[in-house]
Chains A and B, each alone.
Chain A
Amino acid sequence: MLEIKNLSASIQDKPILDGLSLCVHAGEVAAIMGPNGSGKSTLAYVIAGKPDYEVKSGEIFLDGENLLELEPNERALKGVFLAFQYPTEIPGVGAMTFLKAALNAQRRARGESDLTTPDFMRRVREAAHALKVDQEMLRRPLNVGFSGGEKKRFEVLQMALLAPRVGVLDETDSGLDIDALRIVAAGVNALRDANRAFLVITHYQRLLDHIKPDVVHVMSKGRIVATGGPELALELERNGYRDYAEEVV
């Protein structure tokens, strides 16, 4: 479903991704692990189309369509969702206002009509309840004054409402205490679906205790250097990334 072929990308002329290839199938949860600086977040941004990154070569196909030819918002409308590691604050814009604008933008792209306010409220309330996001938080400006945990929960709330084809989670576990981690993981697990794929980027095994991956990819120096089952993550937890980092030296 998501197919990345020989992808090289750089930021400010500094090469980060170096001929990365990766395939994620529908229904699959793929974990991407790797040491700091291996290019995990860059991969997430390049999939989503962040402007600072320059793609030198390669292709990213989602359902057979080359994402690299699309604008960031067009990719979102095709079903790419990025749960940000550091969600951006937008002062003055209510979280609910933002949610509604995003939801309706995506509905219109599919030729659907805008949600009525009661319908919208009901959906938000349901999703918020599951993620223990309270109404007061939704009344605040987007991400402004949110704690680290609140920001991450709000990212997953957005993902739940937007129901993407592929969810890219960029270190969603960072800054979460164990309770928040469980809530967020449960939120992601609830979205697992035969027609949906996840790319879960993380440093640590502990997130994968809660979101069980089907596949684990190890990333180092801008490429995938090992692929295996969930046991690979456990091995990394014991031995660290040393072996894989050396392999490509």
Chain B
Amino acid sequence: MAAVQETVDRVRSIDVEAYKYGFVSPIESELAPRGLNEDTVGFISERKGEPEWLLAWRLDAFRRWRTMEEPKWARVTYPPIDYQAIYYFAAPKSGPAPKSLDEIDPELLRTYAKLGIPLIEQEILAGVERPRVAVDAVFDSVSIATTFKAELAKAGVIFCSFSEAVRNHPELVRRYLGTVVPATDNFYATLNSAVFSDGSFVYVPPGVRCPMELSTYFRINERNTGQFERTLIIADKGAYVSYLEGCTAPKRDENQLHAAVVELITLDDAEIKYSTVQNWYPGDSQGRGGIYNFVTKRGDCRGARSKISWTQVETGSAITWKYPSCILRGEASRGEFYSIAISNGHQQVDSGTKMIHLGRNTTSRIISKGVAAGKSQNTYRGQVSAHRLATGTRNFTNCDSLLIGHECGAHTVPYIEAKNSSAVIEHEATTSKVSEEQMFYCLQRGLSAEEATALIVNGFVRDVLQQLPMEFAVEAQKLISISLEGSVG
């Protein structure tokens, strides 16, 4: 309740243009030659000091990618991407970064302030160079990170950048990399496999419950992972980890194309809870610019009774093409997908999930809330399939769409496939509008149109918000309000 009130407060305090991206800072980068060929792949691998096997893996992916075509089935449109015009490797940090927040676009800072981001994190998000001599705030943050690391190490949890993992835990990376999303999986995942820059690696050993949510630490350390991010999380037998990705703050990024890959693996009785808040630049009011987010996220419930749960709040990007999925291989394993996808302006969202039931007595649950405003198009695309041997499969799907205004669209495209007669698959879907009656009712009590919209939308997405870890839920709620600004006349 307090959080909703806070949302209302935030909306109240916001001026018209919440999201100002126009921000370029003079970071010198060491660039790979423009374009994509085997030399580029070799260059990336060499710069990262990778072992032979990983280079070979990248090259295989690259050769495969050259034979593939971009998927065309999603309900999104965009001009052709010239893959040869992109730089595939940039190692920043070498040049002068902004010295302080004084050099940062004040609009960006205002947005941070609206989101209540602490100063130190603002600096990091904006790419401000860290002073060598620690001032208080910086010192605090660094020490927190260090404390986290010590605590994680004590529990035996490995949590590091992907590159570090390749160096320090090559056996784990080699055993699991590409086993959920094969290098040949799809156009964007294959591209990622060839040229991925960096990302995160988590390994939770058997029986260990990760002592903290891998969140704040991650947020602080997330920068410079680039546009082809690669994440691999393994929860060994009986392990548990909750992982929070992304940030409510608009992230500075010059790259238009993002093609990340996330692989999750749970062994027997393990559980991974993966939460995402995505707020990349959505483009301007005319629909120009904005990030294309073509991401492949998949979890493999490899062990019996294991569980993978995806929760996402998607408000950013010009185009979102994203289907966090679960392969329910282990007997009695469980997959969950909770999603809030909000589109405004000219944004296009084609998102959903796949629940692939392979093991016996596997269960899955899908709750999707799509909110479309402005001139945006918002599609839920989901697949539930029960394999011939997956007897006792249970699925429940609920996808609701809410429309704000007259120029947006919401679409629901479910694919349901049952190959054994014992599978029970339920699908519920509704599409509704923020009705004039609801708006008038709120206005009659003294709420402004913005407050009313925020209240109604927060009510609509409440079931999913409750799935988010507390601190994330509050931020997400603010973000929802901000992203719907200007959606009511």
Contact = CB atoms under 8 A, between A and B. Distances in A.
B154 interface: no
A101 B447 contact: yes
Given A88-B437, A97-B4, A114-B5, A102 B446 contact: yes
Contacts of B446: 73, 76-77, 102, 105-106, 109, 162
Contact of B455 (A48, A84, A98, A117): A98
Contacts of A193: none
B449 A73 contact: yes
Interface in B1-31: 1-2, 4-5, 8, 12
Contacts of B458: 92-93
Interface in B304-339: none
A27 interface: no
B448 A105 contact: yes
Q: Dominant SS at the B interface?
A: helix
Interface in A85-126: 87-88, 90-94, 96-98, 100-102, 104-106, 108-109, 114, 117
User: Which of B8, B442, B456, B462 counts the most A-chain CB atoms under 10 A from its CB?
Assistant: B442
B441 A87 contact: yes
A76 B441 contact: no
A50 interface: yes
A182 B447 CA distance: 30
A117 B435 CA distance: 30
Contact of B447 (A75, A80, A92, A102): A102
B472 interface: no
A51 interface: yes
Interface residues of A, number: 39
A52 interface: yes
Q: Which of A71, A101, A108 has the most CB of B within 10 A?
A: A101
A76 B445 contact: yes
A94 B460 contact: no
Contacts of A92: 458-463
B267 to A, nearest CB: 37
Contacts, number: 95
A158 B459 contact: no
A158 B445 contact: yes
A72 interface: yes
Contacts of B2: 117
Interface string A31-66: 000000000000000001111100000000000000
B154 to A, nearest CB: 39
Contact of B444 (A76, A93, A94): A76
A19 interface: no
B444 A101 contact: no
A88 to B, nearest CB: 4
Contact of A88 (B4, B438, B460): B438
Residue among B2, B446, B448, B459 having the largest count of chain A Cβ atoms under 10 Å: B446
Nearest to A100: B5
Nearest to B432: A91
Nearest to A45: B440
A108 B9 CA distance: 11
Interface of B: 1-2, 4-5, 8, 12, 435-438, 440-449, 451, 455-456, 458-463
Given A90-B456, A117-B2, 4 more contacts: A91-B460, A102-B446, A106-B446, A141-B459
